[in-house]
Amino acid sequence: MRRFLTALLLASVLVTGFPSTIPATFAQRAAEKSKKAAASVTAQRGVDTISADQMRAYLTFIASDEMEGRDTPSRGLDTTAKFLAMNLSRWGFKQAGDDGTFFQRIELKRERADGGQTKVEYNGRALTTGTDFLPAGPGNVSGKLVYAGNGWLIKSKEMDAYKDIDPKGRIAVIFGTPGALPRGVSRADLRALGQDAMNPLDYARSKGVAGLIFVADYQFLANWQSNRQRTMERGATVVAKFQRQGQAPAMLPSIIVSPEIANSLLVGEKSPATAIFNAMNDGTLPASFLMNDQKTVSLNIGSTTESIPTQNVVAVWEGSDPVLKSEYVAIGAHYDHVGTGCRPVANDRICNGADDDGSGTTGMLAMAEALAKAPTRPKRSILFVWHCGEEKGLWGSRYFTEYPTVPLNAIVAQLNMDMIGRSRKPGDTNSRNNSLTGPDAVYVIGSTMMSTELGELVNTVNKSYLNLTFDTKYDDPKDPNRFFYRSDHYNYARKGIPIIFFFDGEHEDYHGVGDTADKIDYAKMEKIARTVYMTAWEIANRPARLKVDKPLPAQISISAN
């Protein structure tokens, strides 16, 4: 890259720095010479093999319906992992997972509600599993009731399910489907989740609520039989191996009840179930209240526990320098998405995750292919980690940085791509696309947070190559969107590794069924992937590793706890 930059500088001097009497052909020849030098550098590095058409082909597969939204864990995620490994193997990458494979295994624990071991009673009357209710969360509890609206705390929307009441020790009756957002709320409203916003489970737990009774919306009830099978099979899935004892919060005993049971529960109360259902459809719900003390519910929700594996995909392209190849430039993306957890549109429930983060996943695959086809190798090794479970709480990157398959102190930098494939079109007036970058722009976060050299390097590479617009709007740990904390680079930064996060911005299809491969700007993906690739090469070829000359901001803990 230094020769590349020197050639460009020489061309600039030759064109602008000599008297006008020098023939124009001399300057033209110099410019042509500099172009040839730059072309030689890019050819030696293989960057020109990263193409829009290539990435379109890969992403069309990765974000297809057959991958079923790549939930962690899922069949679709495992299939995607095998697809990545197949290509890495044929390109000659070193297997850097467990036991001589590309897979770093992570054991998950899934707890399923067991209808056969479940008993629910309302005022001594036994309710029927599968007809009157569906089990949703395991545990045993008995108690009085509290009506808690939609169960959410969202201060920006003035939603507070337990405002002015003390629900401690009671079982909350909540109108809404577990996991679904209330009407009028988008993912953007949850940016401060855990501070000014909590989902029904977390908020109930923080208030000392003993159990939950969900009254699902009409769409869920209309598909009661199919949801019965899906809900009975669904359970709490947590990372088991690296979480300390007691670190994972306990589930609350919970059920989803039929309309008939909901009516029975709310007979004689301030607001009957029919009125609440109507208000629910209008997007408003009555204020919460403590229900009649004569009403009690007993929840004894049985469960079974099983271990299920998932994986990060890890590969190494070994460097050419006999000494420096023991150091690594890490490139990362998360290859999971949210499965079928989006709000359905018509009959479509699959969240394809083409941009989030099929785009980063595909960009990495294109870079891997470019390395394999390049005539030369970088001096340092390049470490590729496709992380799983990012959508569940940065599971894969947390696991890799706790149990690295290469020495963590040998990683000199980590470049993360999460959502690099969407562009805001001219004339787009959709407010949900306001923060989406254009076809020649990308948000760059964290590049100068820990290393002045890294920030200077990425800017120099960009300006001398494709000259994208680097938008640093969100390059602040205090950013209210908390983007710095919301993707896998965060766990590397916690360990003292300088990072850069490339991100196109949120858009109307974020975590929705509309995030599909046909909406991707592949020309933009090509530009970003090539820029990240050339940045990785430059880091890998430096004679000395990047200096970490800045302490991490106080908001970021580098401890493993």
The span from the CA of 416 to the CA of 408, in Å, is 16
Q: What is the pLDDT of residue 342?
A: 79
DSSP state of 233: H
* Radius of gyration, CA atoms only, the chain: 27
Q: What is the pLDDT of residue 14?
A: 35
Beta strands in 318-376 (DSSP E): 328-334
Q: What is the pLDDT of residue 238?
A: 45
Q: Dihedral through CA 209, CA 215, CA 219, CA 224, nearest 10?
A: 110
DSSP state of 135: E
Residue carrying the six token digits 């890019």: 42
Distances (CA, A) of 534 to 10, 239, 526, 544: 21, 35, 12, 17
pLDDT tens digits for range 45-56:
999 999 999 999
End-to-end CA distance of the chain: give it in Å, rounded. 39
Q: Which string of b and e fits 316-344 if b means at least 16 CB within 10 Å?
A: bbebebeebbebbbbbbbbbbbbbbebee
Written as tens digits, the pLDDT of the chain (561 aa) is 444 444 444 334 333 444 444 455 766 665 566 666 667 788 899 999 999 999 999 999 999 999 999 999 999 999 999 999 999 999 999 999 999 999 999 988 777 667 678 999 999 999 998 889 988 888 899 999 999 999 999 888 889 999 999 999 999 999 988 877 787 777 666 655 566 788 899 899 999 999 999 998 777 776 777 677 666 655 444 444 444 333 445 678 999 998 889 999 999 998 888 888 777 766 688 999 999 999 999 999 888 777 889 999 999 999 999 999 999 999 999 999 999 867 888 889 899 999 999 999 999 999 999 999 999 999 999 999 999 999 988 999 999 999 999 999 999 999 999 999 999 999 999 999 999 999 999 999 999 999 999 999 999 999 999 999 999 999 987 788 888 888 999 999 999 999 999 999 999 999 999 999 999 999 999 999 999 999 999 999 999 999 999 988 776 653 333
Q: What is the pLDDT of residue 561?
A: 35
The span from the CA of 419 to the CA of 358, in Å, is 8
Given a contact cutoff of 8 angstroms between Cβ atoms, the answer to whether 32 and 15 are in contact is no
| 174 bridge partner residues | 214
The span from the CA of 308 to the CA of 22, in Å, is 73
Q: What is the pLDDT of residue 192?
A: 53
Q: What is the pLDDT of residue 200?
A: 93
CA torsion sign, 20 to 24 to 25 to 28? positive
Distances (CA, A) of 353 to 71, 237, 368: 10, 20, 21
The span from the CA of 63 to the CA of 284, in Å, is 36
Alpha helices, DSSP H only, in 154-222? 200-206, 218-222
Q: Is 471 helix (H, G, I), strand (E, B) or coil?
A: strand
Q: Which string of b and e fits 264-280 if b means at least 16 CB within 10 Å?
A: bbbeebeeebeebbeeb
The span from the CA of 80 to the CA of 63, in Å, is 9
Q: What angle do CA 80, 393, 353 make, to 5 degrees?
A: 40
**Number of residues written out for the chain:** 561
Given a contact cutoff of 8 angstroms between Cβ atoms, the answer to whether 334 and 418 are in contact is yes
Q: What is the pLDDT of residue 113?
A: 66
Provide φ and ψ at 105, rounded to 5°. -75, 140
Residue 498, number of CB atoms within 10 A of its CB: 29
The span from the CA of 70 to the CA of 76, in Å, is 5
Given a contact cutoff of 8 angstroms between Cβ atoms, the answer to whether 236 and 248 are in contact is no
**What residues contact residue 138 under an 8 Å CB cut-off, 6+ apart?**
111, 113, 114, 235, 236, 251, 253, 301, 302, 303
The span from the CA of 422 to the CA of 128, in Å, is 48
Element containing residue 527 per DSSP (H, E)? helix 522-541
Residue 544, number of CB atoms within 10 A of its CB: 8
The span from the CA of 436 to the CA of 429, in Å, is 12
The span from the CA of 450 to the CA of 498, in Å, is 6
What is the separation of C-alpha 311 from the centre of its chain, rounded to a whole number of angstroms? Answer: 15
pLDDT tens digits for range 167-183:
999 999 999 888 777 87
Which pair of structure tokens corresponds to residue 236? 């709490």
Element containing residue 136 per DSSP (H, E)? strand 133-137
The span from the CA of 68 to the CA of 70, in Å, is 6
The span from the CA of 109 to the CA of 471, in Å, is 40
The span from the CA of 208 to the CA of 38, in Å, is 64
The span from the CA of 509 to the CA of 517, in Å, is 12
Q: Dihedral through CA 225, CA 226, CA 232, CA 238, nearest 10?
A: -160
DSSP state of 195: T
